[in-house]
Amino acid sequence: MKKERMFTFSGSSLRQKLSWLAAGLVGLILLAVNIGVYRGTVDFYFSGVLVVALINVILAVSLNLINGFTGQFSLGHAGFMAVGAYVSSLLTIYLDWPFPVVLLIAALVSALLGFVIGLPTLRLKGDYLAIATLGFGEIVRVVLLNLDITGGPRGLGGIFPKTTFFSAELVALLTIIVIGNIIRSSHGRAFVAVREDEIAAEAMGIDTTLYKVLAFSIGAAFAGVAGGLFAHHQMFIDPRSFTFQRSIEILVMVVLGGLGSITGSIIAAVVLTILPEALRGMAEYRMIVYALLLIGLMLVRPQGLFGTKEIGDFLGIERVRWAKAKSQQPAAGVLKSHGGDGR
């Protein structure tokens, strides 16, 4: 009698084994890093780089919701990060509120600002939207330069060092879980529908303006949290930390990882944070090597490291899950959930 297999996956068996092996290695690396940080065997400099990498993961995943899954071209993510950084810093300096409460308020203020800015600007498309969001980021930076409470061009110091590796890791995991669940819901299918064909999405009963503003607000909220973590890690911030170049750095992470791939954004954010530090021994040539590596990767794989796929696609999990969901849910259910009549 033949033994029954406990798990059944589609696709190449070798590819699945390699994918599971890679996932296991990543898990072991993460476990080793956590144990090293907890026991203090990881030095202060490297743990600081890891904290910045986790903050960049939050920024890249949240921007991917806007640019990758909803198809909107935003260049103002550093502006929302700046708002979260300054709001959280002022609350801890002058009111000494608990850190989780401060991060929550930073998220709410950034989300509200994202809604206010997004409602009129997201009626634009393509290059016009990019210019509008770029202008928003510059407005935020200029306002911060001219306010006394923010320290103006001198910057804002005296921020309490409340961001730890574990708090940054917790928020990064929360960001991945929340945005991942949103993408897998009926609302996530609406975001993707807006990206693929906005006119067809409207014809199917999807309120495209609502979903674009919703994606913008959610992405802005997580960018605000990332700004709060960044400020309480650096202990000093100034408007030069949130320039147009910062928005471009986040966008490069999203494009390199793959527009529409959370897994790609995570890996690209970590790699692009650690790579400049790893090349620091090359002195002035390190940025040239860094740029050449990016150009080479874009030439070899223009769709990004993962394209629109996730790690579950390579392990065969996503195909099984979607096939099961498709067999259990009527086709009209998606339309009804967005206001359509299902006919």
User: How do residues 34-46 score in pLDDT, each as one tens digit?
Assistant: 787 777 777 788 8
φ/ψ of 237, rounded to 5, equals -135, 150
Position 6 scores a pLDDT of 45
In a domain, 15, yes or no: no
The reply to whether 151 falls in a domain is yes
CA dihedral 318, 319, 321, 322 (to 10 degrees): 110
| Radius of gyration for the alpha carbons in the chain, expressed in angstroms and rounded | 21
Total count of domains within the chain? 1
CB 251 within 8 A of CB 108: no
Query: How many Å apart are CA 337 and CA 314, to the nearest integer?
Result: 30
Query: Tell me, what's the pLDDT at 283?
Result: 67
**What SS3 state is found at 70?**
coil
Longest distance between any two alpha carbons in the chain, whole Å: 80
Are 189 and 200 in contact, with CB atoms under 8 Å apart? no
Residue 338 has pLDDT above 70, yes or no: no
Average pLDDT over residues 103-123: 90
Domain membership of residue 238 (yes or no) is yes
The C-alpha atoms of residue 69 and residue 181 are separated, in whole angstroms, by 13
Q: Which residue matches tokens 């850190």? A: 99
pLDDT tens-digit series, residues 23-32: 677 777 777 7
Predicted confidence at residue 334, as pLDDT, reads 45
User: Residues 145-186: pLDDT tens digits?
Assistant: 999 899 888 999 989 999 999 999 999 999 999 999 999 898
What pLDDT is attached to residue 333? 46
Report if residue 312 sits inside a domain: no
98: how many CB neighbours lie within 10 A of its CB? 11
- Identify whether the C-beta of residue 249 lies closer than 8 Å to the C-beta of residue 297: no
> Residue 317 domain-assigned?
no
* pLDDT of 320 higher than 70: no
263 with 257: CB under 8 angstroms?
yes
Domain with 78, as residue range(s), is 41-242
Share above pLDDT 90 across residues of the chain, in percent, rounded to a whole number: 45
Q: Within a domain: residue 71?
A: yes
* Closest CA relative to residue 317, chosen from 69, 20, 65, 30: 20
Backbone angles phi, psi at 96, to 5 degrees: 55, 45
Say if residue 310's pLDDT is above 60: yes
Query: Are 286 and 280 a contacting pair, CB within 8 Å?
Result: yes
Instruction: Give percent above pLDDT 70 in the chain.
Output: 84
The set of long-range contacts for 120-124, using a CB threshold of 8 Å and a minimum separation of 24, is: 122/72, 122/209, 122/212, 122/213, 122/216, 123/209
Q: How far apart are CA 52 and CA 274, in angstroms?
A: 9
**Mean pLDDT, rounded, of the chain:** 83
With 0-12 CB in 10 A as exposed, 13-18 as middle and 19+ as buried, what is 126? exposed
pLDDT of 60: 96
- The predicted pLDDT at position 161 comes to 92
Whether 323 is in a domain gets the answer: no
Within-domain flag for 339: no
Q: 252 to each of 77, 203, 271, how far by Cα in Å?
A: 12, 33, 12
pTM: 0.84
